[in-house]
Structure 1
Amino acid sequence: MKKLFTVLLAAFVLAVVNPTKSEAKVMYDGAEVVKGQTGKMTFKKDIKVYKKNPNGTFDSLVVKRNNFFRTYDIEKYGGKTFYQMGQYRVQATDLVVFKEVPLKIRSSFYNNPSYIYINRNSMYGNALYGTWFIGSDPDNSITNNGQQLTFCGGTDVGTIECLHYPGIDLKIAETKVSEIGVPFELTKAADFKQSPIKESITIKTLKKGRILYSEGLEINGYLYVTWKSDDNNQYTFWMPVNLLNPVVDK
């Protein structure tokens, strides 16, 4: 993905900023779709769902058979799938009927969408958990009636290979572009992440006060930054934006 980033970043910087998306309602399958929604669920019988409180206790909610609920984040790990239904988390079972909102519709809420691979149960093609794609990359397209992301790229032997990623395995986030080379100070010790998502691989835990340099790309609340180590090596990965303060000349 880093290979694509350099080309795309230059294009973004030169591009005119897209206007704000329309406020008109987006409809699918007879219901309104909202930003961040991945699909909708119904249940084959009345069941109890739970949310975990910050103090470790749980609250429950009885959901009625055939009532429809919007779903947002999806997690796949340990051979299981979980849907976030507001504050409540529901495991996929035979009692849960999930219907996906097509990726094309989900993308319509974003000016410059990025797609993050979020399936920890399996690797597809070269995509590990956290692999990211920028939607405006000419190598990407939404195919299969808007249900999947297709990425076509060159291989080591000079041929073109196309891989198809199901929309349900992708999280969408806004892509923000800013000036390259801006220094930031880390406000507390934090994990330097391989990908712009919390559960991705930690490269190294950096200490408070480290100076990091922006590479001009922000996705999912993470800034792509370069850290120059004491041995003069450079490492470029992701750090949460809310832990970075711009360095002001005194």
Structure 2
Amino acid sequence: MKKLFIGLLAAFIFVVVNPTKSEAKVMYDGAEVVKGQTGKMTFKKDIKVYKRNPDGSFDSLVVKRNNFFKTYDIEKYDGKIFYQMRQYRVQATDLVVFKEVPIKIRSSFYNNPTYIYFNRDGITNNYGSYFREQDQWYISFSDTNNGQKLNYCAADNDGTYDPCIYYLGTDLKIAETISRESNVRYELTKDAGGKSTPLNGAKTETMYAKGNTFSSHGTEINGYLEVLSESDPKSYTWLPVDLLKPVK
């Protein structure tokens, strides 16, 4: 019994001296923020929202007035805005109250973030453009009356022009930049389209048939790997990582 008591005492002291490490929660506007979240919504009255199933049918859910819901992806096109509540998609109307999580907070969840522009209403037609801090470019954040902006600025500025490009936080998707070994050879396991930017909705530039081989450039973003086609080595393209297998 004495040995058992001594053992339990030692275990208790170890736990107190070496507590289990836990990550602090990220809080904003009185609520916890999670990775991938763009904001939160409330509704001015009870409304019904819908999700589309793979078979084309729809499921509905009644959301209650004044309840908070986390929002994730945002779509902007044809003058309309849609918010994604996990599987459910909600169009912005007078009944929807959306509050943005500042992009500076959103980016804090990532070690090496890449920012992808996904507003298809943009007058510059740069849907899918992506950027990160590198070489002579740096990133900062600023608050405006219309939400927080990201400033993408060139460092080599002589003071005669504005060196920055400005983006609204709600126009940007954030993805982790993952370094992979370069010059690794891969084979395509299924026909797929190569894209100029690592984004599902981006335009396909070149179709590649199953069995084509590629060489990795060493960067993975948003589920896409930057590769060079061995049959047409003119420029790099982005292909889905899950459709590429290493070859000897």
Q: TM-score range by the shorter chain?
A: 0.7 to 0.9
Say if 1:142 and 1:159 are closer, same or farther in 2 by CA, change over 3 A.
closer
1:195 CA drift (Å): 0.7
Q: Is the 8 A contact 2:70 2:85 kept in 1?
A: yes
Map of 2:4 onto structure 1: none
Letter of the structure 2 residue corresponding to residue 147 of structure 1:
Q
Map of 2:199 onto structure 1: 197
User: Structure 2: how far apart are the matches of 1:102 and 1:92?
Assistant: 19
Map of 2:168 onto structure 1: 166
Aligned 1:180-219 pairs, distance under 5 A? 180-219=182-221
Map of 1:29 onto structure 2: 29
Map of 1:147 onto structure 2: 148
User: Structure 2: how far apart are the matches of 1:160 and 1:225?
Assistant: 34
Question: Structure 1 residue runs of 4+, over 3 Å off?
Answer: 135-138
- Higher-Rg member (1/2): 2
User: Structure 2: how far apart are the matches of 1:68 and 1:201?
Assistant: 35
Structure 1 residue ranges without an equivalent (≥5): 1-21
Map of 2:114 onto structure 1: 114
> Are residues 1:129 and 2:130 paired?
no
1:235 CA drift (Å): 2.4
Say if 1:116 and 1:161 are closer, same or farther in 2 by CA, change over 3 A.
same
> Are residues 1:79 and 2:79 paired?
yes
Q: Is the 8 A contact 1:112 1:136 kept in 2?
A: no
1:137 CA drift (Å): 5.9
Task: Give the TM-score taking structure 2 as reference length.
Answer: 0.84
Map of 2:246 onto structure 1: 246
Q: Is the 8 A contact 1:140 1:149 kept in 2?
A: no
Map of 2:227 onto structure 1: 225
Alignment coverage as a number of residue pairs: 222
Say if 1:137 and 1:26 are closer, same or farther in 2 by CA, change over 3 A.
farther
Q: Is the 8 A contact 1:71 1:85 kept in 2?
A: yes
Q: Deviations over 1:218-240 (max 9, x none)?
A: 100000111133xx542211000
Structure 2 residue ranges without an equivalent (≥5): 1-21
Map of 2:19 onto structure 1: none
User: Structure 2: how far apart are the matches of 1:235 and 1:143?
Assistant: 33
User: Structure 2: how far apart are the matches of 1:120 and 1:147?
Assistant: 19
User: Structure 1: how far apart are the matches of 2:110 and 2:164?
Assistant: 24
User: Structure 2: how far apart are the matches of 1:73 and 1:104?
Assistant: 16
Q: Aligned to 1:111, what secondary structure does the other structure show? A: coil
Q: Is the 8 A contact 2:120 2:127 kept in 1?
A: yes
Q: Deviations over 1:168-199 (max 9, x none)?
A: 00000000012221110000100101110011
Q: Deviations over 1:131-180 (max 9, x none)?
A: 0011466523232149221112369xx95521110110000000001222
Q: Aligned to 2:67, what secondary structure does the other structure show? A: coil
Q: Please, what is the CA RMSD of the aligned residues?
A: 2.1
Map of 2:3 onto structure 1: none
Say if 1:172 and 1:137 are closer, same or farther in 2 by CA, change over 3 A.
farther
